């Protein structure tokens, strides 16, 4: 039976941090603030997968109060989400995500992001979808105060 989960994450843009999206360092004047590398794309995908499994969110598995995760690459979190699928005897069908950022333009980096997500999840890249959009100048994203991502994941789980 296919189960679907939805994930959403947002982080503030700040000076003095690298901008990491989908495991790719993107040249920009600001980076995302957070306890780990603050990769909103990978965090949203993690939450989508965990939601499909009926598990708690990424913060339950990797609390921002735990010093082990300070500056951690979000690939670690995504690999754990993939491991959780195996624990539940499931199979990841696909993930689809959207990055919402006014700047920088992320389109040139999407293929590498897709490859990074697929590798961390152990699935072919054709089963990972990533798109990007702006907020047309509106809200905190439009004012370039932060970047958001949303994702959906489908996981085939045995019937119980």
In angstroms, the CA 117 to CA 120 distance is 5
2-156 is a CATH 3.30.1330.50 domain = yes
The β-bridge relationship of strands 128-133 and 2-15 is unpaired
Supply the pLDDT for residue 56.
93
What are the domain boundaries of the chain? 2-156
Reported pTM: 0.95
Supply the pLDDT for residue 63.
82
On the question of a cis peptide bond just before residue 104, with omega within 30 degrees of 0, the verdict is yes
Supply the pLDDT for residue 66.
83
Render each residue's pLDDT in the chain as its tens digit; 160 residues: 999 999 999 999 999 999 999 999 999 999 999 999 999 999 999 999 999 999 999 988 888 888 788 888 999 999 999 999 999 999 999 999 999 999 999 999 999 999 999 999 999 999 999 999 999 999 999 999 999 999 999 999 998 7
Supply the pLDDT for residue 50.
97
Q: Which of 43, 44, 95 is nearest to 72 (CA)?
A: 43
91 close to 155: Cβ distance less than 8 angstroms:
yes
Reported as half-sphere exposure (CB side, CA atoms, 13 A), residue 96 has a value of 4
């Amino acid at each position: 039976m296919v189960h679907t989960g939805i994930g959403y994450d947002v982080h503030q843009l700040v000076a003095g941090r690298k901008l990491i999206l989908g495991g790719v360092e993107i040249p920009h004047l600001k980076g995302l603030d957070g306890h780990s590398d603050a990769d909103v794309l990978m965090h949203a995908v993690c939450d989508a997968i965990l939601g499909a499994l009926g598990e708690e969110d990424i913060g339950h598995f990797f609390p921002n109060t735990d010093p082990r995760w300070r500056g951690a690459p979000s690939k670690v979190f995504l690999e754990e989400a993939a491991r959780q699928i195996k624990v539940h005897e499931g199979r990841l069908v696909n993930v689809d995500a959207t990055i919402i950022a006014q700047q920088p333009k992320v389109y040139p980096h999407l293929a590498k992001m897709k490859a990074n997500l697929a590798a961390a999840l152990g699935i072919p890249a054709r089963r990972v979808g990533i798109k990007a959009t702006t907020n047309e100048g509106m809200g905190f994203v439009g004012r370039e105060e932060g970047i958001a991502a949303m994702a959906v994941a489908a996981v085939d789980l045995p019937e119980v």
